[in-house]
Structure 1
């Protein structure tokens, strides 16, 4: 049996390890933290299992859905499937846009005709964007910012505020004035511009570690592999020049001890900084420097616990944010409608949250609670029983125009790079992480 080591137990690393195990490799998965999942993982707080960030998947995430099935996770039960929508609380000044389950692109045309809260000019603006983007085959000759793209397409201010800005923040975690228009178009191409099911929005019904990484670990172990958490890899070295075999040295705690393994293939699937350190030791200084040059954007998730009978009419809503007025939230999710064990718990997401994250946590949660009370015209939402603010400071790389992202092939036999920051059409999403892991596994298998 061939052997492989995967360094990093996030979604990219778990995907690489599963793909290698499926191909018959005996895999050792190393993760420095105690919990698998990387930047999409479970955390414990106030007696509940929460996530370090609320996520929405798309029906276009074909590789993610394939691997979920491979590790015996049924997407139909693990994910709440809702049609493409951008729906604001009825008490606010937003809009109500929801696509019926019709064939594409008829579902979008009907959604646009039925949309509430948009003027005729707004609807014509959206139709013009969709038509022009399809005519352009969703490609730009020269990348620019999303804001510049929307200006070129004569999008109305209201449509930008209610549709394009929140979609850009949710998908790229980068403000429209700095976000890559080409990557944004790629996301729209594979969702709005593809078959109807590709645009479906998929909400996890369980925590993110249980959704895939934990099942991936069980899959690896069942096929003779090992999963080492709390194990930091400090050394990676070729056993012999050009034969593609690797020596991996990992440091654990006093209980677990240290590990040293020799393998036929290895995948670097940690964060860009940690992979850069190991690549620099291998003489790949130029690549290491490129990995260290990434800029990052945070994501903040605010959990608010109310009485057990507190419930929203829908599983999630968009929120009209305005940092200048202290309205930080961009989407709110009713966790009780996703997980039966979490009634009365709401989670509010703030993407690209540098300003929000600089606030004192109690002040931020208080402002978000007030925002919910105002948006839903429900004064009781201003006073939750408790709150928990979680900020992932390096949630994603800043997805800026023309950004050069590294290939998974690092130019060394039997070694590949994986991570949501590697070269891809997509921004830093779960799907891009999974695709990179699968691609890295297939690359080292051919060496």
Structure 2
């Protein structure tokens, strides 16, 4: 049967340009500056098209002739031109995305996909500020990430804020804090096998064996170890408080992630704000129950509610001795592995070996290196606290991943801050 396709139709079909080809052509002309928004073949990521190019650059709703799968040559040329016209903003968008991801790591935010959360805001920052500069990028990126994180977990934190700011509710909650701290009692260490259990659990870390975390939980070894924190300066030495002894918390009504006190010095509201802001899993929580549970938690060992979390804190406190420049009398496998990771860092070796004026390491990071055990334990406490709020207990099979992951996080944060500091120094010298 003869074809019914007319010569005009065939000519029209040949003359069209696939929309994806036009987008790829326009994108390729932008060069390496948009690499973080591109896939392995150099084309824009699917999310780049979905969140940036289509709604903010091409705008197919307002320009329906640019919306089809196939475009006329004129439409394809227009589309390529639109991408070219926004080349500066798209390059700046890519740089802002790098800055926001760095701020996200520094603030230890892990909820949600960063592309989904940040792509459109990065384009907005690019339009407002252009290319990020060292003078503005770090603060603006941190503020933006915090704002996005707070809005993501706004539902539960809004309800919690309403409760703590209500006069009657606040009085009731203050009474709950008083009652919890008046009745608090920490067990004494009555388990003679605790030291052996701790050694065996840490020695199993990083091996094919599974640490016997259950035995430590069954003997309440973590709670027993927490009783030592009541001794003068014990919790302060661990970097968990500025006080001689941990004190009863305030209820609190405000918080800022940029100026949070040490874990045991935070108000009830600050603890919840730090853990739940930006959490998509937090939206279904009952605010009154969360507050009641947190108040009870503050009065318990390690200021944690779960014996498993307390056992992990105890193990972390012991394992983190490996980060101190002293010889360990009886090191476990966990000690050896943590020390090996820490000692491999060039900036750590420079801080330990050279005087301050010769090391090239900024003083703030030098101080963090010298007090790394405290920083490690603060971060571990934050992790355990967050897992409790999300009802995610740490299984024995994940103990080593948790202890090792905390040190990786500390190292990545210090590397990032060192890189920024050196970059500022270089620009200042230039």
Task: Tell me the TM-score range normalised by the shorter chain.
Answer: under 0.3
Identify which of structures 1 and 2 has the higher relative contact order when contacts are C-alpha pairs closer than 8 Å and 6+ apart: 1
Structure with more of its chain in helix, by fraction: 2
After TM superposition, the score normalised by the length of structure 1 is 0.24
Higher strand share: 1
Give me the TM-score of the superposition, normalised by structure 2.
0.25
